[in-house]
Every structure is written in structure tokens, then in C-alpha cells.
Amino acid sequence: MLDFFTIFSKGGLVLWCFQGVSDSCTGPVNALIRSVLLQERGGNNSFTHEALTLKYKLDNQFELVFVVGFQKILTLTYVDKLIDDVHRLFRDKYRTEIQQQSALSLLNGTFDFQNDFLRLLRDAEESSKIRAPTTMKKFEDSEKAKKPVRSMIETRGEKPKEKAKNSKKKGAKKEGSDGPLATSKAAPAEKSGLPVGPENGELSKEELIRRKREEFIQKHGRGMDKSSKSTKSDAPKEKGKKAPRVWELGGCANKEVLDYSTPTTNGTPEAALSEDINLIRGTGPGGQLQDLDCSSSDDEGAAPNSTKPSATKGTLGGMFGMLKGLVGSKSLSREDMESVLDKMRDHLIAKNVAAEIAVQLCESVANKLEGKVMGTFSTVTSTVKQALQESLVQILQPQRRVDMLRDIMDAQRRQRPYVVTFCGVNGVGKSTNLAKISFWLLENGFSVLIAACDTFRAGAVEQLRTHTRRLSALHPPEKHGGRTMVQLFEKGYGKDAAGIAMEAIAFARNQGFDVVLVDTAGRMQDNAPLMTALAKLITVNTPDLVLFVGEALVGNEAVDQLVKFNRALADHSMAQTPRLIDGIVLTKFDTIDDKVGAAISMTYITSKPIVFVGTGQTYCDLRSLNAKAVVAALMKA
């Protein structure tokens, strides 16, 4: 049974609606528009919202959307056929009203489609019930029955008979020609304890080789065994006598010697820094995030040279080449776009977009353009490329935009610290980019408390202590009226990370810090114990922002990491509405040139924004995402 069926224009005007139950269809349809249609995620024609499954079809020629909703626990096999039949009949019946392309005509038009829809629904339900009875397959219809029995008997029996005949012939030859030899070989067999009898009269090749090997070992191998044993036994004795070399600066497994950290307590200022502050800071305005620039030096050098071939090319050939690809006033079909979409998909995969995401993007573009009427001077390639660019820009600008500075000022008015938690897999640069974000916040006048909750990796606390010392040198208390702007909160190794984060938040509230940045241990997405610990930390402390730190070098792995991180946070959370990832920090962006596909993969799979982009080794190498620049680099050949 259907919950609803609605037809509306892409401008938002509802032309006709069927209500199967008393509940309103406004909420599910609005969720479909926000999450799928506006976000260019039309690769799949189904969408799940709470307890409902929504299936939809786009009519790009008349700018219509057909949506049907039903309970997701039901398996209605006739829904696809019904939505196709309704689409065909509604378009043919009200073609003149729809072609006027004006909102006023659509509002004034009367679409009396109730009786036609009920008839189509009844026909679709009856067609799904009428099915041919399933009959069991007979033996006569199988492939085995086609083979004659005689052929199967011959093929199974011939080979063993031939083997037996051949073995008898070989045995007879051995008995006739090698009689004395066989008797001489039987003697050592008796000595060695091997069974001798009529069964062993016909010796196989492996047994003969084994017996000859035993005879050879008995005759010649005793002296060799002794000499080899003596050499082997002497070798370890000589090694044992050799004393190990002692190095002057050699390591020592002593806790006091290995501990290079200075004994500091939470609340004490860090020591002065002896390094060059300008090298640590980098160049550029630290308090203002610059937009990401994806243009490379190769593009600038190739730009002037690219115009030379076009100038020498004949005008006649260029004109014919242009006219060859023109498609005037024609509605696009799947066959027209298939070859172009295949090239676009391969291009996206080559640019490091995950293969699954590339297929869904091309499918979404095909659904968006199918049936659309093209202009006179537009080619299929240019139309598909423009639609794909618009979809990519829309994907990189997701529903929610994270504005940390505004949220921090809002938390200041409430007199509480703003808490940010960083999570991700091993080695992606969580601690380094945490220090960059700390510097950005310090440049904007906010005090920062860094919570060292990575109690697993050796050297994690010392790394954060070094960053804190450098940040303190860049922003000493003297510049801020004696106020400590950055401080490290740590409890050592082997402690509970959730407890340390809770103590750090309480410490920041008492000391008046504006922001708490929580550093967590790197963990793989398949490590259940560590994912449970992360879910516990997020559930207990309820941070304002959960940032996933991922590197721009990954391809298909980005999808697996984000999906499993979100799933693990949902599964291991104790709250009714589990807290998932709120944003993404994309690191190592300066190492990938124009292979920027990881940004598309991560944003597409989570619908969350990329808040920061790491582009270097200094504190100023932090950028905000420029969607158009990323898409331009992605579409560049």
C-alpha cells in the first residue's frame, strides 16, 4: 500500500498529489529535495527518510519530479512500473498545460488525475500478483541427460584399464630382465625393515628412488653426517664466545635515560624557545584563512603556448570540426551521453576520485540531462561537462557550513569553552594540523587549551608540548596583558582518554580558556576497541565540533574510512541520537598537484563540509576550501 504519490515541478509547485494515509507527505518530500535533488545526488532513484522509502523519477524535458512513498518494511515490486506508467500518462495528457512553462499557468491549470492514477495503481498491483507458477526442472531438461550413458561409462573406465595394462607390462619386463637385480635389492629392504611380499613385487618409480637413496646414505652418508654435525656444533660456540660491541652513544633500556620530557605540571608556563620564530610561523596572514589555490606553475607556463597551435590551424577544418559535433534542438538520450560519460568517469578516477563515487556522479548527471532539449550551438560533450561541473561545485558546498569563529564567540557569551575533537587514522597529521588551527585561533585573539588525549602513541605528548612551546613564543603572555594564550593539558600515557578530555574541559572552564582542542590517538577504522573508546570520548564530553582528519593522497580508502568511522561512532555510542562527524580537515594537499579527487569523495560520502585544508609545514599553511578552484583542477585534462 502506498503512503503517497506526488507530482511537482522543479520550481516547487505541486501539480497533483495522492494521499494514501493521513500523514502529510511534506516532510519526506522536503528531505528528498534538500538531501538529493539540491545536492546533486541523483545517482540512485531511491531515498530513505525515517520509516519511509521514497522512489522518484525526473522529467528533464518538462522539469517535473514524480515521487512515490511507502513503508520501507514493505517490498512492493510494482512501484517502478507504476511510476513509469504515471509519468508517461501524465506527460501525454497534460502536455499543452506543461509546455506553457509559466508558474501562473501551472497554478491555474486543473490536473484531474485521481481516476487515472487509481486505474494504473490497480493494474500494477494485479500484474504483480499474476505470476507464472514455478515448475521444477526435469531431468530430461538438464545437461546431464543429454549425455549418453554409454559414453560416461567408457570415459570413466578406459583410463584405469589402460593404466592397469601398462603397469602389468612394466612389471613383466622387470621380472624377465631384472631378476638378479630384484633379488639383490630385496636384501637391503629386509634389513631396513621394509615389507616384502607379492604386493611389493611391482615397485613404483618413487619407491625405487627412495630405496636407492637409503642405500646411498647407509654407505656414504655416515662420515658426512659426522663432519656436518661437528661444523654445525662448532659454529654457535664461536658465536657465543664473541662479545657484543658496546657503542659510546648506545641506547639503554632504562626508563630514566629514555625519558626526555621535562617534568611539568598543568598550569605552569612553557620554557623559552631558542629557534627562529619566523621559520616556524611561515609567511602570510595567520588570522585570516586564504582560499585554496589549485593552479600550478605548469599551467602558467603552458598557457601562452597553448594558443599557438590554434592560430596555425586552418579555419575550414575548425569550422567542420565544430559543425560535426553540433546537435541542434534535440533531446538528450542515454545513448548520446554514454561515450562522454564513460570518458568523464575514467577522468574522475584518474584524478583520485573513488571509483564508486565517480560512477554515482556520472549516473546523477545522466539522470539530470536525460530528456533535456539542447540548444542549437551546443555539443553533447560541452553540455555533459557543464552539468558535471555544476554538480561538483554543489557537492563541495554541502548543507551545513561550519563557522568556527562565530560559534566560539557564541560560546563566550555563554561563558563556556568551545570544544573541538580531532579524530582519524594513523599518520594523517592530526597533531600538526591541530597546532595550525591553534595558531589561527591565537591570531584571532582566542585562548587555546590543548588536551593531550593520545595516550597510546609514544612521543605524542612531547610533540604537543613542542608545539605549545613554539606557539607560546609566537604569542607570549606579555603581548596579551599577562594572560596565557596557549597551554597544554596532559596526564601522561596509558590513561583513559575520555577522562582526560573531561578534566581538560573542566580546567578550561575554571581558567577561562576560550577553546579546547582535543587530540586523540590515530586508529584504523576496523579496530573495534579503539573505535569504542573514541565513541565513549565523544558521547561523554559532547564536543561542539568533531573533525575528521584525512589526507588528500587517498582514493577509494577515503570512502571506507569515513563510512566505517561514522558507522562505528553510531554503533558504539550510548546516546539515542549518536554524534557523528561534523566536518573534515584535508591534509597534505600540497603533495597531490591536480589530483584533488579525495575532496569530492569525502564530501560526497558524508555530506559534511571541508573546514580546513593543510598545505605545508608551517603554522600559516592552512587554507579554506575554494570549491570552484578544486573543480577547475579536477576537470583539467
- % of the chain surpassing 90 pLDDT: 20
The residues with which 58 forms a beta bridge, in sequence order, are 65
All three cell numbers of 597: 579527487
Candidates 585, 314, 563; CA nearest to 437 is 585
Region 32-46: mean pLDDT is 77
Candidates 125, 57, 124; CA nearest to 91 is 57
Residue-level length of the chain: 637
Residues 350 and 439 in one domain: no
Residues 462 and 576 in one domain: yes
Does the pLDDT at position 580 exceed 80? yes
All three cell numbers of 434: 591541530
**Residue 522: inside a domain, yes or no?**
yes
**Residue 102: inside a domain, yes or no?**
yes
Region 434-452: mean pLDDT is 94
What is the per-residue pLDDT across 474-533, written as a single tens digit (0 to 9) for each? Answer: 998 888 888 889 999 999 898 899 999 999 999 999 999 999 999 999 888 888 888 888
What is the per-residue pLDDT across 340-361, written as a single tens digit (0 to 9) for each? Answer: 999 999 999 998 888 888 998 8
Residues 375 and 464 in one domain: no
Region 77-81: mean pLDDT is 87
Q: How far apart are CA 363 and CA 67, in angstroms?
A: 19
Grouping H, G, I as helix, E, B as strand and the rest as coil, residue 287 is: coil
Does the pLDDT at position 544 exceed 60? yes
Pick the residue with more confidence: 333 or 314? 333
The secondary structure of 319-332 as a DSSP string is HHHHHHTB--S-B-
Q: How far apart are CA 40 and CA 607, in angstroms?
A: 11
How far is the CA of 577 from the CAs of 298, 450, 498, 548, 569, in angstroms? 49, 28, 19, 19, 11
Its domain, for residue 364, covers: 331-396
Candidates 86, 65, 47; CA nearest to 8 is 65
Cα torsion angle, 341, 346, 351, 352, sign = positive
**What pLDDT is stored for residue 383 in this prediction?**
87
**What pLDDT is stored for residue 94 in this prediction?**
82
**Residue 343: inside a domain, yes or no?**
yes
Number of domains into which the chain is organized: 3
- % of the chain surpassing 70 pLDDT: 70
Question: Beta-carbon neighbour count of residue 295 at 10 Å?
Answer: 13
Question: Beta-carbon neighbour count of residue 147 at 10 Å?
Answer: 11
Q: How far apart are CA 94 and CA 98, in angstroms?
A: 6
Q: How far apart are CA 451 and CA 6, in angstroms?
A: 52
Confidence of residue 25 (pLDDT cuts 50, 70, 90): confident
Residues 378 and 432 in one domain: no
Domain boundary among 98, 128, 158: 128
Across 34-136, the runs of DSSP E, i.e. the strands, are 46-49, 52-59, 64-71
Does the pLDDT at position 554 exceed 90? no
CB 18 within 8 A of CB 5: yes
**Residue 246: inside a domain, yes or no?**
no
All three cell numbers of 145: 541427460
**Residue 32: inside a domain, yes or no?**
yes
Residues 582 and 526 in one domain: yes
**What pLDDT is stored for residue 221 in this prediction?**
58
CB 52 within 8 A of CB 70: yes
Does the pLDDT at position 181 exceed 70? no
The secondary structure of 366-423 as a DSSP string is HHHHTTPBP-TT-BHHHHHHHHHHHHHHHHTS-S----HHHHHHHHHHTTS-EEEEEE
Lowest mean pLDDT among 96-110, 145-159, 452-466, 559-573: 145-159
Region 611-628: mean pLDDT is 89
All three cell numbers of 414: 555563554
What is the per-residue pLDDT across 11-24, written as a single tens digit (0 to 9) for each? Answer: 888 888 888 876 77
Grouping H, G, I as helix, E, B as strand and the rest as coil, residue 481 is: coil
How far is the CA of 60 from the CAs of 21, 53, 350, 384, in angstroms? 29, 23, 30, 14
Q: What phi-psi label fits residue 121: left (phi over 0), alpha (psi between -120 and 50 degrees) or beta?
A: alpha
The distance between the two most distant Cα atoms of the chain, rounded to a whole number of Å, is 115
The residues with which 14 forms a beta bridge, in sequence order, are 8
Pick the residue with more confidence: 119 or 555? 119
Residues 564 and 421 in one domain: yes
Domain boundary among 371, 396, 421: 396
Residues 375 and 425 in one domain: no
All three cell numbers of 105: 499557468
Does the pLDDT at position 598 exceed 70? yes
How far is the CA of 52 from the CAs of 55, 75, 122, in angstroms? 10, 12, 21
**Residue 179: inside a domain, yes or no?**
no
Can you count the helices (H) and strands (E) in the chain? Answer: 24, 14
CATH code of residue 431: 3.40.50.300
**Tell me, what DSSP letter sits at residue 373?**
B
**Pairing, β 418-423 against β 545-551:** parallel
Helical axes 597-606 vs 355-369, angle rounded to 10°:
70
Highest mean pLDDT: which range of 35-49, 53-67, 122-136, 362-376? 53-67
Confidence of residue 149 (pLDDT cuts 50, 70, 90): low
Candidates 371, 491, 377; CA nearest to 87 is 371
Instruction: State the average pLDDT for the chain.
Output: 77
**What pLDDT is stored for residue 182 in this prediction?**
42
Lowest mean pLDDT among 55-64, 65-74, 239-248: 239-248
**What pLDDT is stored for residue 480 in this prediction?**
85
Q: From the centroid of its chain, how far is CA 312?
A: 46
CATH code of residue 14: 3.30.450.60
The secondary structure of 307-322 as a DSSP string is HHHHHHS-HHHHHHHH
Pick the residue with more confidence: 321 or 571? 571
Residue 447 backbone dihedrals phi, psi, to 5 degrees? -85, 145
Query: To which residue does cell 654407505 refer?
Result: 219
User: What are the strands of the beta sheet with 290-291, ordered from one edge?
Assistant: 290-291, 622-624, 610-614, 583-587, 545-551, 418-423, 515-519, 448-452, 486-489
Residues 431 and 522 in one domain: yes
**Residue 613: inside a domain, yes or no?**
yes
Does the pLDDT at position 283 exceed 50? yes
Q: Which segments of 137-178 does DSSP mark as H helices, in order?
A: 143-146, 149-177
**What pLDDT is stored for residue 617 in this prediction?**
86
Domain boundary among 128, 153, 182: 128
Residues 453 and 521 in one domain: yes
CA angle 25, 26, 30 (to 5 degrees): 120
Residues 423 and 539 in one domain: yes
**Residue 256: inside a domain, yes or no?**
no
Residues 392 and 440 in one domain: no
Residues 453 and 589 in one domain: yes
Give the global pTM: 0.65
Lowest mean pLDDT among 144-158, 210-224, 554-568: 144-158
Confidence of residue 419 (pLDDT cuts 50, 70, 90): very high
CB 565 within 8 A of CB 525: yes
Pick the residue with more confidence: 461 or 298? 461
Q: Which segments of 444-555 does DSSP mark as H helices, in order?
A: 460-474, 497-511, 528-541
Q: How far apart are CA 501 and CA 451, in angstroms?
A: 6
Confidence of residue 173 (pLDDT cuts 50, 70, 90): very low
Confidence of residue 36 (pLDDT cuts 50, 70, 90): confident
What is the per-residue pLDDT across 101-145, written as a single tens digit (0 to 9) for each? Answer: 555 566 666 788 888 888 898 888 888 776 656 667 777 777 767
Does the pLDDT at position 250 exceed 70? no
